[in-house]
Amino acid sequence: MTKFSDLNLNPKVLKAVEEAGYETPTPIQAGAIPPALEGKDVLGIAQTGTGKTASFVLPMITALARGRARARMPRSLVLCPTRELAAQVAENFDTYTKHLKLTKALLIGGVSFKEQDQLIDRGVDVLIATPGRLLDHFERGKLLLTGVQIMVVDEADRMLDMGFIPDIERIFSLTPFTRQTLFFSATMAPEIERITNTFLSNPEKIEVARQATASETIEQGVVMFKASRRDREASEKRKLLRALIDAEGDKCTNAIVFCNRKSDVDIVAKSLKKYGYDAAAIHGDLDQSQRTKTLEQFRDKTLRFLIASDVAARGLDIPSVSHVFNFDVPSHSEDYVHRIGRTGRAGRDGKAVMICSARDDKYLDSIEKLLQKEIPRIENPLKSEAAAEAPAPKKTEAKSTEPKQTESKQTESKSSARSTEPKAESTASKPKSSSSSRTRSNSSRSGRSRDDQHHGNKVVGMGDHLPSFIAMSFEERRAS
């Protein structure tokens, strides 16, 4: 079995690795570090949580141990899709360079330009940045990329999803043609393959897992959800999420809940807090200080539930996440793999549960095609609760309807008999004066009103069923 001591790393780097508690490299590390130390371009394909960060950090530090940085001209460049991943890479450099005098700068949004400019002006060995902030510094004339010897692109498929590919291509064009390129991705979309063919020179390809596969240590499940009414869908879905969390009990020590939209992240977090769950939100619209604080609380296990958008789906090293709940089915099947990859890391067991509504069936199908297997269906815990609470049907109700029908028929016959008496009296005498005509009209109105009640106040037609208000108007005109 290969050990770090067999990989020809700098002795000071190897000492830092041993102090961090690592002896045996992961497959991606064992495959990528030797060609990277030889100065070759590397194309690494591995699922999330396999140790890709150390596979480029360790050979970079070894190569940069010799030489000195110049002002505004970094010697190496690491591009990351999100602030959190960039900050995590920076932490790895701090861990493994503790016995070397190497400098670094972190260029991410949400931090003052002035502080970053001061670091760049002094000269840095390692520049870790998100594409947007890096180009901002370059366009302001504060940065030159002509001294870059090693360039790393981390989580390239996430760069593609976030629309950073044009920026990546531009940054490549600003660096020397003689640079060494280390390119890492969990999947190989056609667009990413085009970039690697364009900017990498005869790369050493290391693929340690089938593309877009989930770890075998993760137990997966999906609940098929249908709301009772459309206007109750959101609230009933949140209720289902709480029921799924409660069903896991003490086994759910901490969990990440993923939503597709930032607005839903805030709503779900507030809802869980309202019902007594220890939850906080993290997404791209929050201040960097707040995002960092929330992540630290979740890592320290002082926060139990992290409600996140896909900004937290990739690259974040949170080793002991017991559960992942997909509140929404991701629209891109690859995102599902990265989301559930937050649990079951480093050989640990994990569980991933997803809620799927009728409109998400097509997304679920594409995920199962990618995984090449069906995700097991889980019974909706709310349905079992409703069945337990439902009262038993009463058998006496069917018999009790017959007497009621008989009574209603008797009532109808009595009312019809009464209604015929005024009609007989009114038709027996013929009116000879206006007073008798008024009397007849009054008796007609009273008789008609009873008849209307008998017919349920419905106007059937004219003639015998002439409405009383029309007869009244004719009689009044005749009298005048």
**200 vs 46, more confident:** 200
Say yes or no: do domains 4-207 and 218-382 share a fold. Answer: yes
Edge-to-edge strand ranges of the sheet holding 279-282? 218-225, 350-357, 323-326, 255-258, 305-308, 279-282
pLDDT band at 313 (very low <50, low <70, confident <90, very high): low
Does the structure show a pLDDT above 70 at 370?
A: yes
Angstrom CA distances, 404 to 266, 407, 410, 453, 455, stand at 55, 5, 10, 20, 20
Q: Which has more pLDDT, 291 or 93?
A: 93
For the domain covering 4-207, report its CATH number.
3.40.50.300
Q: What is the topology classification, in CATH, of domain 218-382? A: Rossmann fold (3.40.50)
Tens of pLDDT, residues 113-150? 888 899 899 899 999 999 999 999 999 999 999 999 99
Query: Per-residue pLDDT for 91 more than 70?
Result: yes
What does the block give as tokens for 90?
């920076």
Confidence of residue 84 (pLDDT cuts 50, 70, 90): confident
Residue type, 443: S
Confidence (pLDDT) at 131: 94
Q: Say if residue 368's pLDDT is above 60.
A: yes
Whether the predicted pLDDT of 288 surpasses 80: no
SS3 218: strand
CA angle (9 as vertex; 7, 11 as ends), nearest 5? 130
The answer to whether residue 405 scores a pLDDT higher than 60 is no
Q: Which of 167-176, 208-217, 382-391 has the lowest mean pLDDT?
A: 382-391
Q: Is residue 106 pLDDT above 50, yes or no?
A: yes
Confidence grade of residue 30 (pLDDT, cut at 50, 70, 90) = very high
Per-residue pLDDT, 435: 45
Alpha-carbon gap, residue 45 to 15, rounded angstroms: 27
DSSP per-residue letters across 150-200? EEEE-SHHHHHHTT-HHHHHHHHHHS-TT-EEEEEESS--HHHHHHHHHH-
| pLDDT at position 327 over 70 | yes
What's the rounded Cα separation, in Å, for the pair 294 and 320? 16
71 half-sphere exposure, CB direction, 13 A CA radius: 6
pLDDT confidence of 191, banded at 50, 70, 90?
Answer: confident
Every domain of the chain and the residues it spans: 4-207, 218-382, 419-479
Cα–Cα distance, 241 to 253 (Å, whole number): 16
| Cα(161)–Cα(167) distance, integer angstroms | 13
Q: How many CA atoms lie within 13 A of 395 on its CB side?
A: 0
Annotate 368-401 with DSSP letters as a single string: HHHHTSPPPB---HHHHHHHHHSPPPPSTTTTTH
